[in-house]
Structure 1
């Protein structure tokens, strides 16, 4: 009779471990065999114009992970625009705060309400327009505040730390018509309140991209 409780305990332990083992096998199979779609499905996809029909060309466009219909773009002559319906309608969200040429739009991975915008396009041509430094919103574009680098004139790229949106990197092209010490790569660790130049070559070599 003393062996019966021991035997019963072993049986219960086995039945307890079986579901975990089965679940682990299911997870392994799911991971090993990701969903794949036939290449033929992509052949019918075509680009189409989604507007808006103002603001000029754009060199700064970004989406938001997990939000397939939410996009932002910066126009070279019309500020920052936002769509929540996949491009069927657009709203200018920078009017009243800043405008002009936009060179960079970056949405924080850790908080999509935090967005940084760099002024000034990078497409050098006869009628290039400059911008007004870096701007920041923490409410997805409802309100904006200046985030410094007011002398940068052209900010082609901004990158944020994936876990901390207060850590910001900015590539600054600077004034394209004359030598300037404002060129280079800048870093902020306080959300744009202050900046430190981390890379500078000379007054004639600016930065246009960040990886």
Structure 2
């Protein structure tokens, strides 16, 4: 049943978003960021997101939709894969305006990876899960977009990893011998496509449920070590999202059944995930986080957005728009959420 949480979150949070009030009022500082709406004309919840530049971004929806913009969100092209109606696209990995991967989640064959190299005019099914016990949550490509990994909730007691060496055109199962055992009830959250991220040659995997931990690989997913985070674990809680720049990492999460509770919902690491320190409270549960620039990062969730300017050691709220995912690139940030909401960062 725990593996259905990723699907249930769409219904629970989308239906409750309008009624949720922030845990604390946002008191913007003079130099805080602010969001500008560039929404997609859809009612789908947009948890899949990748930002290529300030002009180019891709989003994936909760009912088989994929959209692309090349003009900063002024217009969106519906580039949904044929036959994908009803699939839950939770992760997008884009190399540029033409090449992208879209991960759909679910049990059995609902977990798929689609690939396009022509801006979404055509798609191929690069991977279709054939194991009823597997449930893929997140996808991440390494710099250069040749090598990449995707992760499934534990199968036979271990998180399952598949890898690509050809830009996502084909995928192979990684030997599970290099993965530590999962704790009973441990799983990953398919909430924003950032439960699995890469930085340089490293990969990082976040978990929740039976334990709130961070798995680290320094060899493109062949072998992993694992460390406890400081974020509390719960049946619907733990570490939801990770972001790294070099050795500096941030983890955010909480409990999605308590969306206004942000106590101890962040952590930071300065040693490539070897140790984690409590980053203090957020203004609510957060499903996505990313670095904007050195020491500055943004976290988002159903009660709004928080910003840190000290590398994750403290946070403050600055907006109460419900959001699910955030991606920053080249001093530009994009975020997405329920009912087609997409926002871009506008600085004061």
Both structures adopt the same fold (TM-score exceeding 0.5): yes
Residue 173 to residue 151, structure 1, CA distance change in 2 (3 Å): closer
Report the TM-score, using the length of structure 2 for normalisation: 0.38
Match of 1:116 in 2: 204
Question: Gapped runs of 5+ residues in structure 2?
Answer: 1-96, 99-117, 190-194, 291-348
Residue 184 to residue 150, structure 1, CA distance change in 2 (3 Å): closer
Q: How far is 1:53 from its partner?
A: 2.0
Quick one: distance in 2 between partners of 1:87 and 1:173?
Answer: 35
Quick one: distance in 2 between partners of 1:134 and 1:107?
Answer: 13
* SS of aligned partner of 2:239: coil
Deviations along 1:90-142, one digit per CA (max 9) or x if unpaired, are: 2145554134522311111xx22x1111113xxxxxxxx54451111112222
Between structure 1 and structure 2, the one with the greater Rg is 1
Point out which structure has higher relative CO (alpha carbons under 8 A, 6+ apart).
2
User: Does the 8 Å contact 1:155/1:171 carry over to 2?
Assistant: yes
2:145 to 62, 67, 82: 67
2:181 to 98, 102, 111: 98
Does residue 107 (structure 1) correspond to residue 198 (structure 2)? The answer is yes
Match of 1:33 in 2: none
The root-mean-square deviation of aligned C-alpha atoms, in Å, is 3.4
Quick one: distance in 2 between partners of 1:175 and 1:93?
Answer: 32
Question: Gapped runs of 5+ residues in structure 1?
Answer: 1-35, 121-128
Match of 2:226 in 1: 146
What stretches of structure 1 move > 4 A for 4+ residues in a row? 93-96, 129-132, 174-177, 179-182
Between structures 1 and 2, the one with greater helix share: 1
Match of 2:288 in 1: 209
* SS of aligned partner of 2:228: coil
Between structures 1 and 2, the one with greater strand share: 2
